[in-house]
Structure 1
Amino acid sequence: MLARIGCGQVLLRRGRLVELSPTGRAILERESEASASHDTLYGAVKQLVNRAGAQFPAGSTSWLATSTKEGFTALVNQVANAWTDETIALILLDLDAHPEPSPRTLQRLFGFTAAETQLALELARGHNLLDIARARRLSRTTVRSQLASLFVKTQTRRQADLIALLGRVAILP
């Protein structure tokens, strides 16, 4: 479920990768700009750790927020002695990810039409109304009318509120 919002996990033990979620792997592959050898991925972990400028003691679980686009990584939280062995768990939050709700969930939850669903997904991906209108070859008036319908169906009043709601709904299957 956390993968749907751009969150991955990496487990390390004695300087080696021992477990990696698919989202964790994707974040590390983007960081290393290469495909998935364990040495390359471990190098990407070291890059993130160095950028965060923090220590990760054995037995700890640490939450890191990272943006490959911005070259930014920050330690958000850390729990010492979370593991009884020498495991280090890193929970990576990809700040570049755009959580995207399931089209089917949007249609069931809010009764969106196919066109409204497509608009909601484009907004969740970070696209603006003018670009959406151009890409879909629709007038701005049509897209704004669809947006107004989304507001009614989701009981939101502003685009920012709608996008925040879509981000929360993104964790649903």
Structure 2
Amino acid sequence: MSSYMGFVEARVVVEGLGGEVLYSIIGGIYDCVVNPEGWTGVMTRITEAVDAAYTTIALASTGDNRGRFAAHSPWDAEKMRVLQEDYDFDAIPGLRAAVDGDIDTPVATLSLMSEAELQQTPFFQNWAKPQGLREACVTKFVHTKDRIGLLGCTTRTSRGVITAEEQRFLASLSPHLRRASLIGDLLDQVRITANHYRQTLDYFAVPIVLTGADGAIVHANGAADRMFSEQGPILSRKGQLQAQNPVIARALLEAIASAASADDLLGSRGIGLPISARGQPPAVAYVLPLTEGTARASFRPACAAVFVSTTTSSSPPPEAILTTLFDLTPAEARILLRIGSGLSASESALSLGIGENTLKTHLNRIFAKTGTKRQADLVKLVSDIGMPLAAPGS
């Protein structure tokens, strides 16, 4: 029954005050979540809809007896200042009843007292009457353990009392104001946290790039932006993080995808990727997952952090690079380095102190993992990877 009555009341509001107006104002309320500058316009539209003089949104601490205006439609700025500074909840007729009353329930001043009683109050005599104002209607739309939110509309003496239909209209806005304020709180926390993290990341001289699971760049610190503008050692292409070498570019994206899924293999495939092009100083990319928590929430949909080091000491051993790129065993990586440097199979076996049959067994596995067929392909593969790989003993 209550749901039906709510529907009937909504129909009355829509039909009486105009459905398009109501829906437009509700849409404007939610628009203000991402663009708070729009609140003045929304307050103005509410003012016009209920034929008020002005409309306010006031926020107050539950431990305080005063509110501050978060937004209001155009009105005399000095009068608004006096209203906030000189009058507390108990000094404004009807306001205490709204603060202590039920949420989403408009309270009109002249529903609590007669007009004669209202006109005898100091507030009316000193503040409302000189401005040609009559009464207010206040709706509490938020009441949490630490905050109260109030929507107030104040009318001029030239019009009648606030009607039941107008009160229903204001009540219909209250849940949307509440949702918008709570969403806005969450967004403000995220913005503050994200800004804090951005400032922190910008302090690092090391390039840091936060990416989505597909390598899409979500955030790059200042050092990373400079690296992109200098075209390396890693690049931004159509908003995606890329390495200049195709083999390493593929491994980088695989490592990022592993980070996104918290893959246990990340430790062997995502650490120490050589990303410098031929002729460039050594550079290494380290991929780390962004764990579920504040940092990840602040930069959604980022799920991986890529750190780029260009210090020589950070370059991993050549064997580690090859195990990372191709999932080789340490023994297979050592063989690939020998073959890739131009040694024959027998020379490589002798260098490593293993039999030629053992080397051939490893070599077949290397061919399968690297997608090659001949030793000459391995020579070209190692050459294409370039620095920081080096010939054994060099």
TM-score (norm 2): 0.19
Larger RCO, structure (CA 8 Å, separation 6 or more): 1
The structure that has the greater radius of gyration is: 2
More helix as a share of residues = 2
